[in-house]
Amino acid sequence: MRVESEHHALRLTADEWLTRLQSGSPEHPSEQARRAAEAAGAEVVVLFVEVPYDELLRRLVVRNAALPAGTYPVTEVQMAGYAERFEPPMADELPEVWHGPPRS
């Protein structure tokens, strides 16, 4: 929340992304966010955090074990469907890619 208030940034939680992905809208949530930000005169920066699929599944198990109020579980089958449809940002979107902390 601090990022939004200090930098006037737009940030969606994982549950907000999932809800938007499941909405049936033909427009991807990132495009919805980009259009809204550009309409408000904001600079748009695409940050992409590359996370291995096994780590995503591990985090999903942890998330589902302690669901926050107002959220719903996501199954591994659903996650596999999301991963199948996922498209990382293209070079023309000028993403800043984070591959994780340096390995020692």
pLDDT tens digit sequence for 34-86: 787 788 887 777 778 888 999 999 999 999 999 988 888 999 999 999 888 88
CA distance readout (Å), 82 to 13, 18, 53, 71, 101: 16, 9, 11, 17, 25
Q: Is residue 11 part of a domain?
A: yes
Q: Is residue 104 part of a domain?
A: no
The domain containing residue 68 runs over which residues? 2-98
Q: Is residue 54 part of a domain?
A: yes
Identity of the highest mean pLDDT range in 39-43, 82-86, 95-99, 100-104: 82-86
Instruction: With beta carbons less than 8 A apart as the criterion, state whether 48 and 97 touch.
Output: yes
pTM > 0.75: yes or no: no
When divided into structural domains, the chain yields a total of 1
Instruction: Return the pLDDT at 34.
Output: 76
Q: Is residue 103 part of a domain?
A: no
